[in-house]
Amino acid sequence: MVLRRLTNSRFVRQLGWSFSSRLVAAVLQLVVVVLLARGLAVVDFAKIASANAVMLSVVALNGFGLMRQTQYKRSVDPDDPDLPAIFAVWQRFTTTSAVLWLLGCGALYLLTDDVLFAQLAPISPWLVFEQQTTLWNAISIVDGRAHEIMTSYLWRRVPVVLALAVALAVDLDVAWTWSISLAAGSALAYVAGVRRAVPWSRRVLPGRRPPGKVTFDFSYWWSEVGAQVRDLDVVAITLVSAATGGAYALPARLVRPMNIITMATTSVAFPRIARMKVVTQRQLVLGSLVATAPVAVVAAAVGLLAGELPRLVGDEYAHAIPVLRILCALAVVVGLGALLVTFLQARSREANRFSGRFIILIAVVQVAGAAVATYVGDAETAAWTVLGVSTAGVLAIYLRALKECGVERTDPAPVTATT
């Protein structure tokens, strides 16, 4: 009984630190979105928002699920001898993606003479430093050191906010300021966090791979990719209509930080669920409702204040008010879905495989539906379509999660391929 109380107390403290850190990150990200919207034309903001969605998709694609596997193995055995090798392989992928991003931006700039591609070039070092500090934060949470991630978020986000504020005040180029400060903030977070990182994860560039078995669980990867493909709805809508993309992109970027709050719960809950033999339906339902409540409260508040959007970013965004209210509801649905997927990932191979494949399917349908809705309607039509598809998908995931309740988990860390 005493041990259980201590464990629960530690979990609450971890959740508190993770929640407060993610909340600060969400607020800072909202400020960044508002500053970008004030400093850019509607069409230019849609382009930057689309580029941001592509950036995050690259992060999901190049990890092949190895970061989540690192969390899983660290949860089960902190001294797992395979962890250094997994990190080394993961780092090769992240570094390769950064190099390809830089080359791609250079090639597109030469071909199109569009300055946007030059402005996106500084994202290359961001891809290296941001992902490394994200992995450190994941390990800190698993190890019970969630208080360390607050500093990481502050170093990453505050420089961007300050730089954009200065750029607007003295009329500097907002897009250049955003990309350069984003890269600088991620580098500062790396410097600030390198001492607390476990020794085998401190290297900034790939070196010789340590001995160890490296597995690729593509179910984890599919879940990550699906979650990012879903956010490509902004890109699809902008490609169909740049004007509609502007009306949709701002609300989409404003509500996205709400799910950072949900991530606070999932990041702490994952190692705990992975260690539990059995989870009851009552635990699943109550845990999901309680963890989704903060997002629901924030979404309701933003929805009520949506009418103030033109005052915040300009009258040209007046037609985005109903879109923002619809996407506030979407944030709650997506938050609940993220919690249920985390539960499935930690329970069994079969459940993990289902969640990965199903999220990919729903994401593709959502993006395609958004593009079609934009073609036949407007931004509001696209928002309703995305909300409908996401709601149906989360309902299906919930029904699958119920099947895992009451079943004793016996699977080891899921494995589908080995190199």
Taking only the tens place, the pLDDT of each residue in 295-330 is 888 888 888 888 888 887 777 778 888 888 998 899
Residue 77 domain boundaries: 66-215
What mean pLDDT do residues 247-258 have? 78
Confidence of residue 275 (pLDDT cuts 50, 70, 90): low
Residues 166-183 pLDDT 10s: 999 888 888 899 999 999
**186 and 227 belong to one structural domain:** no
**187 and 280 belong to one structural domain:** no
- Asked whether 245 and 234 are in contact (CB, 8 A), the reply is yes
Residues 191-242 pLDDT 10s: 888 888 888 888 877 777 777 777 766 666 677 777 777 777 888 888 888 7
- The domain boundary residue, chosen from 185, 215, 245: 215
**247 and 170 belong to one structural domain:** no
Domain count, the chain: 2
- Asked whether 333 and 390 are in contact (CB, 8 A), the reply is yes
**105 and 203 belong to one structural domain:** yes
**183 and 303 belong to one structural domain:** no
25, 63, 125, 143, 335 from 261: Cα distances, Å? 9, 23, 26, 20, 9
- Asked whether 352 and 411 are in contact (CB, 8 A), the reply is no
**251 and 226 belong to one structural domain:** yes
- The domain boundary residue, chosen from 198, 215, 232: 215
Is 245's pLDDT higher than 60?
Answer: yes
Mean pLDDT of the chain: 79
Confidence of residue 162 (pLDDT cuts 50, 70, 90): very high
**195 and 253 belong to one structural domain:** no
What mean pLDDT do residues 358-366 have? 87
Q: What pLDDT, on the 0 to 100 scale, is given for residue 15?
A: 67
Can you say how many angstroms the Cα of residue 75 is from the centroid of all Cα atoms in its chain?
Answer: 21
**154 and 237 belong to one structural domain:** no
What mean pLDDT do residues 244-252 have? 79
Whether 49 maps to a domain, the answer reads no
- The domain boundary residue, chosen from 195, 215, 235: 215
Q: What pLDDT, on the 0 to 100 scale, is given for residue 417?
A: 33
